[in-house]
Amino acid sequence: MTALKPWTVTASRIVLADRWIRVRADSCVAATGDVVDPFYVLEYRDWVHVVALTDDDRLVMNRQYRHAAGEVHLELPGGVMEADDADPVTAGRREFLEETGHGGREFRHVASLRPNPATHTNRVHTVLALGAASVGLQSFDNGEEIAVELIPVAEVLRLVREGEVQQSTHVASLLLALAAAGRVTF
């Protein structure tokens, strides 16, 4: 097996920075000697997805407009981890309540994945919530409008197979969390 080595970064500069993203242009040299310049890196904060099951085996899902796609999408509740979130479970509880008005009896971390390690620095954390139930009102961020749907697990799995859940990291989070909850095997 070939021993692969990381690239050497010879220079780096920030080309865009705001509250959501930093775009970095790196000058790199590969182990082969090839120069890769610029190589753009997207620095995002970590994200969290919540796979929430009610006691009657339904998933708490969101429908919301996604501007880059120009479409309304069926998704998991979740969002950006804030600096004051102690861990993914804390962030998941907060995002779940804000987006859906729901809480849960038990929250646990299932997995941490990288959405796109080729260009993104962040991770997406999957949190499983059991005993999900409505506890209050939604609290939206600027520009958010979210419709909450409670969908039976079997129906969500059919929707995933049919391509109704378009966000690939949401599909991965769904499958990993449902496996952790004993609802699917693969």
Over 90: is that where the pLDDT of 166 sits?
yes
Residue 157 to residue 185: CA distance in whole angstroms: 12
Rounded alpha-carbon distances, angstroms, from residue 109 to 120, 121, 124, 177: 22, 20, 11, 9
Q: How confident is the model at residue 141 (pLDDT cuts 50, 70, 90)?
A: confident
**pLDDT, position 40:** 98
pLDDT, tens only, 94-126: 999 999 999 999 999 999 999 999 999 999 999
Over 90: is that where the pLDDT of 143 sits?
no
Q: How confident is the model at residue 142 (pLDDT cuts 50, 70, 90)?
A: confident
Secondary-structure percent of the chain, ordered helix, strand, coil, rounded to 5: 20, 40, 40
Over 90: is that where the pLDDT of 161 sits?
yes
pLDDT, tens only, 40-91: 999 999 999 999 999 999 999 999 999 999 999 999 999 999 999 999 999 9
Range with the poorest average pLDDT among 45-54, 137-146, 165-174: 137-146
Domain map of the chain by residue range?
8-43, 47-180
Residue 98 to residue 78: CA distance in whole angstroms: 9
The answer to whether domain 47-180 has CATH 3.40.50.10490 is no
The amino acid sitting at 155 is E
Over 90: is that where the pLDDT of 1 sits?
no
Tell me what the pLDDT averaged over the chain comes to: 96
pTM of the model: 0.93
CB 82 within 8 A of CB 92: no
